[in-house]
Amino acid sequence: MIRFLTAGESHGKALTAIIEGFPSNMKIEEDYINFQLKRRQSGYGRGGRMKIESDRAEILSGIRFRKTLGTPISLLIKNNDWENWTEKMSPENKKKDSEKISIPRPGHADLVGTTKYNFDDIRNSIERSSARETAARVAAGSIARKFLEEFGITIGSYVESIGGIYPKINFLQNLFSNKIDENFSARSLSEISDKSEVRVLDEEHQKKIINKIKIAKKKGDTLGGTFVVAASGLPAGMGSFIQYDTKIDADIAEAIMSINAVKAIEIGTGFSCADSFGSSSHDEIITRGESFSRKTNRAGGIEGGMTTGLPIIVRAAMKPIATLMSPIESIDLESMKKVDARRERSDFVAVPACAVIAESMLAWVLAKHFLIKFGGDSIEETMDNYNNYTKKIFKRVKKNFGRK
C-alpha cells in the first residue's frame, strides 16, 4: 500500500513530503517533478506570491541514479518567501511586538481552526490550512504519475468554467456520450489546456474568462470555477465492490474533495444522470477485438466501484478564494465587534492550479489501486503481474462461459 504525508507551513522554511510503497527500479528524476510543480504555479489570476516562488523539489532520499530504491522517498520544496517571514514564523521565541491576527476570514479555516486548536493568533491556523501545502502533494503525485506512465496510463485536465463562464462547445459531453475514441489519451487534454493562461480548451472562452477575472480583481473580489480531470489507458478491475472502502470511486471522491476549496465532485454524467432514464444513462456493452468495451462512457470509467477500462472522467467545483480585498463581514476576536474581514495578499482565482492538483491526487489514487491489484517489490515484478492479468482476462471469460 502506498502512502504519503506532507509537512510545512505556507510561510515556513520549506514543505516536505514522505512517500512510501512504490516498487524499486522505477525511473524518476527531479526535472519530471519540477515540470508538474511549474504547471501548478501557473494560471492568470494568481496573487503576488507566485512571483516570489519558483517551486523545485529536491530529492533527499529513496532514489539513486534516477531510479527508486523501494525505500521511502523524501522531497523538499523550499519556500522562497521564508526570507521575509523568518521572525514571524520563527520556531524560537516570539518577538514582543510581533503581529497577532484576530479577524477571521469567512470561508477560510481561520475561525474554526483557531478555536479548535485554542490558538491566540489566527496566523497559526492560516499557515497550514493554506493551499501552499498542495505543492508537496503535486510533488508526491508526480511519483504516482510517473509510475502509471510505465503502464501507458496518462492523466490530464482542463478548466471548464470560471465565474460561471462556460465554453460554447460542451467538451465534457464529448468525453462520455459520443462514440468511444479508442486512441484517447487523457494527457492530450493538458497538452491543449496548458497552452492557455486559464487552462481552457479554446481561445474565445479564455478571452471571456480573463475579462471576468479582470472585473473581479478591480472589484477586489474572487472567483471559483469547475474543472475536469481524466485518466486513460487503465486496466479493467482496479478497485472493488467488496467493501465501502475498497471502491475506487469513493477514494477518488475523497482525494479530490480533500483539495483546498473544492466543494463538489461528480464522476461521469454524475448529477445529470439522476434526471435521465436508465436506458440513456448506462453504457451498452460490446466486444472490441479480444476485449470488452462500451458504446459510450457515461459511467466515467467506473462501474460497481471498479474501473471498466474506459477513461475515468471526474468533474469538480472549486469555491471562490476566501481572502477578499473588498471584504465581507466578520468579527474581531479581540473586541468581539463587527468588522470587515482581514485583507491579505492572496490569489483572485486558482482554478487552473486546482485542476493540476486534482490530476496529482487522481494519479495517487490510481497508483494506489494499481499496486493493490498487481503488487510487486520491483517495477519488473509489477509489470509481469500486470501483463499476466490483462492478457488473460478475455481468454478466461471464454473458458468460463464455454466458448472455444
Residues 157-186 that bind ligand EPS (CB under 6 A): none
Distances (CA, A) of 348 to 114, 219, 228, 229, 353: 24, 11, 20, 22, 12
* Residue 172 vs 259, nearer CB to ligand EPS: 259
Is 10 a residue that touches ligand EPS (CB under 6 A)?
yes
Q: Are 209 and 137 in contact (CB under 8 A)?
A: no
Q: Regarding beta strands 57-61 and 73-78, do their DSSP bridges make them parallel or antiparallel, or are they unpaired?
A: antiparallel
Exactly one of 49, 145, 342, 369 binds ligand EPS (CB under 6 A); that residue is 49
Among positions 18, 75, 122, 131, the unique one binding ligand EPS when judged by CB under 6 A: 131
Contact flag: residue 132 with ligand EPS (CB under 6 A): yes
- Residue 356, Cβ neighbours under 10 Å: how many? 26
Please state the closest distance from residue 100 (CB atom) to ligand EPS, in A. 17
Strands annotated E in 84-212: 154-162
312/322 with CB nearer ligand EPS: 322
DSSP notation for 253-287: HHHHHTSTTEEEEEETTHHHHTTS-GGGTS--EEE
Residue for cell digits 463581514? 329
Residues in the chain: 404
- Would you say 49 or 369 has its CB closer to ligand EPS? 49
| Secondary structure letter of residue 201 according to DSSP | S
Q: Which of 378, 363, 353, 313 is nearest to 140 (CA)?
A: 363
Give how many residues touch ligand EPS by CB under 6 A.
13
Asked if 222 interacts with ligand EPS (CB under 6 A), we say no
Q: How far is the CB of 321 from ligand EPS (least distance, A)?
A: 7
Contacts (CB under 6 A) with ligand EPS, residues 334-363 = 344-347
Q: How far is the CB of 347 from ligand EPS (least distance, A)?
A: 5
SS3 readout for 134-153 = HHHHHHHHHHHHHHHHCCCC
Q: How far apart are CA 273 and CA 47, in angstroms?
A: 38
Q: Minimum Å distance from CB 230 to ligand EPS?
A: 23
Which of 26, 37, 103, 135 forms a contact with ligand EPS (CB under 6 A)?
135
CB of 266 or CB of 347, closer to ligand EPS: 347
The secondary element (H helix, E strand) that includes residue 58 is strand 57-61
Binding ligand EPS (rule: CB under 6 A), the pick from 12, 43, 45, 47 is: 47
| Nearest CB to ligand EPS, comparing residues 131 and 355 | 131
The nearest distance, CB 128 to ligand EPS, in angstroms, is: 10
CB of 122 to ligand EPS, least distance (A): 12
At residue 228, what are phi and psi to the nearest 5 degrees? -120, 135
List residues bridging with 6 in a β-sheet: 17
Query: Shortest gap between Cβ of 238 and ligand EPS (angstroms)?
Result: 30
**Interface ranges with ligand EPS (CB under 6 A):** 10, 47, 49, 53, 130-132, 135, 323, 344-347
